[in-house]
């Protein structure tokens, strides 16, 4: 064959093509294996070394031994099918190990090409590409997916649970935009207001806020909440589906975006109607009790009130008689004198009317009226109430009122009642005090921001036994007294958030003092 | 000695004082105003005839205490006591202690007017009586102890003879002293002498 120049050329071409072939496949990263019909290795490119096989050693040996037993049946079936069909291509994923049929298993993508019938090849050409990295990535991805899925599942379960909690709980939850538009409502919110979710979402809840002050508050909440101060608590009344008025307590929390802009507000509310009803009922009873005790105090003071009113009436009678007698004489100047006297009569009638009016005002008004008031005024009016009692008993009333007292919040009449009670007690305690030493001192001062009012007498003082039970019903320092006055007084002061205390003076007598918290912008009454 | 009547007004209420003063002014009587019983007692100058108008209840000394102090100090005058406590025990006490008039506030019609006028009138009468008594005492003071003893016996209704025997002097001596007693006492009869001695009262044996 070597002598034939043509054949020599052919040989040469063949050799060259073989070199080219080898150069191509043996330097390729992929492994090329050629198998016969039985799966025996006819050729293996040097790449098989990567898997611990020697290309020469495995030649002639069956390839199946290298395949993962789990993959083998499907691979053999695939192979059998392939060899029946000349020119067919098959792509398989397979795990390949070393000759001992052991791991480490690597994932291969193998493309099998049936070239058995091609004379120049006569083999199944297998192009093996390592896909372990990809497979592992896929595996990881699968795992990741799984955990993601699991996470999702968990989250979904948690959400479900949370949703159930929100749905089942009695607290109302509503989310709303700063303009009041509801974006979320839970079932108890819907139940409480007697409307469906569809009716409530997208509409403003502001009209439900019946209290002016609270409504202004929620309307302005959008501008008041900041990421630093994101919670607001308040109470207000709402209309109930049955037409009644309910009381609700709300805790609002602002929800902000990453720029600190308020997006929504989440309000969690409670129905506090029964609590409010009970509190109101209690307040009413308390007010009624205060009123009854005020009336009984007026009753006790009837003789003094009578005397007080008699004073101007007596002056009126006397002036009138003088005027009549003067006019009967009808001499010079008597007319002018009579006019002057009639003017005085008018003044005294007004004075009497004022006394009556004041006492009536004191007897009236059972419902408590909480408003800001000046404690000096209350002290002044209480002193007027007691002025006659004091006068009758020869008691001097002295005051030391700090002119710069802050206003207090409460029911002025009830505070006056407390003062009248304390003043009366003080007067009665001085029955055995020598006339020249009978004195009551009323002091009003500022004590740590609170207003402190004290009533000091120079009386017989309190025995230790009395001090302990002083503020209990029916304990009395007076033989005839029922002793309810101090109990009511303490209750009134308690209702006003203050304290009423009694203390013996170092020398003689007792000092009763009470405190009242000052009026502030944020009053405790919602 | 008798001068214009004066009304003392003692009340701690200014308007009440002014009202009473206005009423008294119409009577053409003088007034003097005090805002406490203590001030009145301090400034009282014994002006007569007088009437005191006061309130039972006042700051400091009450009207009743004032009345008691006046009695103790020998100040006698008509007192008009006004009070808003008609049923109180102190009012009853005031009446018993001899206050000329006690009035309930507010007075009816012309009660106060009448009471003050009556008070002044009564004080004039009483003053006259007091002056009379003072004169009797002055006359009595001119009697010698012996004449005084004879007067006491006359008042007891003893005869000259019985007196002479009791005093161990002659009937003639008794007759001389008896004449002196009637002359000094300016008495016209035994009855008048008895009235004078009883009016002076506490004197005697």
Average pLDDT over residues A157-168: 69
Q: DSSP state, A124?
A: E
Question: For A266-275, how does the pLDDT look when each residue is reduced to its tens digit (9 = 90+)?
Answer: 898 988 888 8
Say whether B15 and A312 touch across the interface (CB within 8 A): yes
Say whether B106 and A392 touch across the interface (CB within 8 A): no
- Chain B closest CA to A362's CA: distance in Å? 22
Mutate to test the interface with B, among A308, A317, A349, A398 (most CBs of B within 10 A): A317
Sheet holding A396-401, edge to edge: A396-401, A439-447, A450-456, A510-516, A500-504
Say whether A317 and B12 touch across the interface (CB within 8 A): no
What are the chain B neighbours of A329 within 8 Å (beta carbons)?
Answer: 26
Q: How far apart are the first and last CA of chain B?
A: 32
Instruction: State how far the Cα of B30 lies from the Cα of A469, in Å rounded to an integer.
Output: 59
Q: DSSP state, B31?
A: E
- Chain B closest CA to A341's CA: distance in Å? 8
Q: Which residue has the tokens 């990295």?
A: A133
Say whether B15 and A325 touch across the interface (CB within 8 A): no
- Chain B closest CA to A307's CA: distance in Å? 5
Which among A37, A27, A490 is positioned nearest to A286, based on CA atoms? A490
The minimal CB distance from B13 to the residues A306, A311, A329 is found for A311
Which among A316, A325, A304, A382 is positioned nearest to A350, based on CA atoms? A316
Instruction: State how far the Cα of B148 lies from the Cα of B171, in Å rounded to an integer.
Output: 16
Average pLDDT over residues A68-86: 87
Say whether B16 and A315 touch across the interface (CB within 8 A): yes
Looking at every residue in chain A, the average pLDDT score rounds to 82
- The residues, ordered by sequence, that sit 6+ positions from A384 with a Cβ below 8 Å of its Cβ are A358
Instruction: State how far the Cα of A154 lies from the Cα of A209, in Å rounded to an integer.
Output: 39
State yes or no: pLDDT of B205 exceeds 50.
Answer: no
Q: Name the most confidently modeled range: A41-45, A266-270, A453-457.
A: A453-457
State yes or no: pLDDT of B99 exceeds 80.
Answer: no
Query: pLDDT-based confidence at A482, cuts 50/70/90?
Result: very low
Q: Which residue of B has its CA nearest to A438?
A: B60
pLDDT of residue A224: 83
- The residues, ordered by sequence, that sit 6+ positions from A5 with a Cβ below 8 Å of its Cβ are none
What are the chain B neighbours of A335 within 8 Å (beta carbons)?
Answer: none
The minimal CB distance from A310 to the residues B23, B62, B84 is found for B84
Say whether B12 and A435 touch across the interface (CB within 8 A): no
Exposure string for A179-218, b = 16+ CB within 10 A, e = fewer: ebebeebbbbbbebbeeeeeebbeeebeebbebeebbebb
Q: Where is B119: in which H helix or E strand? A: helix B111-141
- Chain A closest CA to B57's CA: distance in Å? 6
SS3 A217: helix
Question: For A225-280, how does the pLDDT look when each residue is reduced to its tens digit (9 = 90+)?
Answer: 888 887 888 889 999 889 888 999 998 888 888 888 888 898 989 888 888 888 88
What are the chain A neighbours of B25 within 8 Å (beta carbons)?
Answer: 322, 337
Query: What is the ipTM metric for this complex?
Result: 0.73
């Amino acid at each position: 064959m070597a002598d034939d120049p043509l054949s020599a050329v052919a040989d040469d071409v063949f050799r060259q093509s073989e070199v080219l072939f080898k150069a191509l496949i043996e330097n390729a990263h992929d492994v090329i294996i050629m198998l016969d019909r039985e799966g025996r290795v006819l050729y293996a490119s040097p790449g098989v070394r990567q898997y611990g096989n020697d290309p020469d050693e495995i030649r002639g040996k069956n390839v199946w031994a290298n395949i993962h037993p789990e993959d083998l049946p499907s691979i053999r079936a695939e192979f059998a099918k392939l060899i029946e069909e000349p020119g067919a291509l098959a792509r398989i994923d397979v795990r390949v190990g070393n000759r001992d049929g052991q791991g480490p298993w690597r994932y291969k993508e193998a493309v099998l090409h049936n070239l058995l019938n091609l004379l120049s090849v006569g083999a199944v050409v297998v192009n093996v590409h390592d896909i372990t990295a990809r497979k592992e990535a896929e595996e990881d991805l699968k795992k990741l997916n799984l955990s993601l899925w699991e996470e999702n599942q968990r989250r979904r379960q948690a959400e479900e649970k949370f949703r159930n909690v929100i749905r089942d709980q009695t607290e109302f939850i509503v989310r709303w935009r700063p303009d009041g538009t509801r974006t979320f409502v839970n079932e108890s919110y819907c139940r409480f207001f007697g409307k469906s979710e569809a009716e409530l979402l997208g509409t403003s809840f502001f009209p439900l806020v019946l209290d002016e002050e609270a409504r202004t508050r929620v309307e302005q909440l959008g501008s008041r909440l900041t990421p630093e101060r994101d919670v607001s608590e308040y109470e207000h009344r709402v209309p109930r589906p049955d037409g009644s008025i309910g009381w609700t307590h709300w805790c609002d929390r602002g929800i902000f975006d990453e720029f600190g802009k308020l997006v929504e507000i989440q309000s969690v509310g409670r129905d506090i109607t029964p609590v409010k009803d009970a509190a109101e009922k209690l307040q009413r009873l308390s007010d009624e009790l205060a009123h009854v005790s005020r009336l009984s105090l007026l009753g006790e003071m009837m003789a003094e009130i009578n005397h007080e009113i008699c004073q101007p009436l007596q002056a009126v009678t006397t002036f009138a008689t003088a005027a009549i007698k003067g006019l009967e004489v009808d001499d010079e100047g008597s007319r002018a004198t009579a006019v002057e006297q009639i003017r005085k009569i008018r003044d005294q009638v007004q004075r009497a009317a004022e006394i009556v009016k004041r006492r009536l005002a004191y007897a009236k008004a059972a419902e408590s009226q909480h408003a800001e008031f000046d404690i000096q005024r209350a002290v002044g009016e209480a002193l007027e109430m007691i002025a006659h009692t004091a006068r009758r008993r020869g008691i001097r009333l002295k005051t030391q009122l700090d002119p710069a007292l802050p206003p207090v919040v409460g029911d002025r009449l009830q505070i006056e009642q407390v003062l009248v009670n304390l003043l009366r007690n003080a007067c009665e305690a001085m029955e055995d005090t020598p006339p020249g030493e009978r004195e009551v001192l009323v002091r009003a001062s500022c004590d740590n921001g609170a207003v402190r009012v004290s009533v000091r007498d120079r009386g017989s003082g309190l025995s230790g036994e009395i001090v302990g039970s002083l503020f209990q019903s029916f304990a009395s320092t007076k033989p005839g007294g029922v002793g309810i006055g101090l109990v009511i007084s303490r209750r009134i002061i308690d209702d006003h958030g203050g304290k009423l205390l009694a203390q013996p003076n170092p020398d003689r007598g007792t000092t009763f003092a009470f405190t009242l918290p000052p009026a502030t912008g944020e009053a405790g009454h919602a | 000695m008798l001068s214009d009547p004066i009304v003392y007004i003692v009340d701690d209420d200014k308007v009440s004082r002014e009202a009473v003063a206005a009423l008294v002014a119409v009577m053409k009587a003088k007034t003097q105003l005090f805002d406490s019983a203590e001030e009145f007692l301090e400034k009282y100058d014994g002006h007569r005839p007088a009437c005191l108008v006061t309130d039972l209840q006042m700051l400091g000394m009450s009207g009743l205490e004032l009345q008691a102090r006046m009695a103790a100090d020998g100040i006698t005058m008509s007192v008009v006591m006004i009070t808003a406590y008609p049923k109180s025990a102190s009012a009853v006490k005031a009446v018993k202690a001899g206050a000329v008039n006690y009035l309930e506030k507010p007075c009816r019609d012309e009660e106060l007017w009448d009471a003050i006028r009556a008070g002044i009138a009564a004080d004039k009468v009483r003053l006259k009586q007091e002056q009379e008594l003072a004169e009797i005492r002055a006359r009595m003071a001119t009697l010698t102890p012996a004449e005084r003893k004879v007067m006491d016996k006359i008042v007891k209704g003893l005869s000259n003879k019985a007196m002479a025997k009791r005093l161990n002097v002659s009937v003639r001596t008794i007759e001389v002293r008896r004449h002196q007693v009637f002359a000094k006492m300016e008495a016209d009869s035994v009855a008048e002498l008895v009235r004078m001695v009883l009016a002076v009262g506490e004197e005697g044996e």
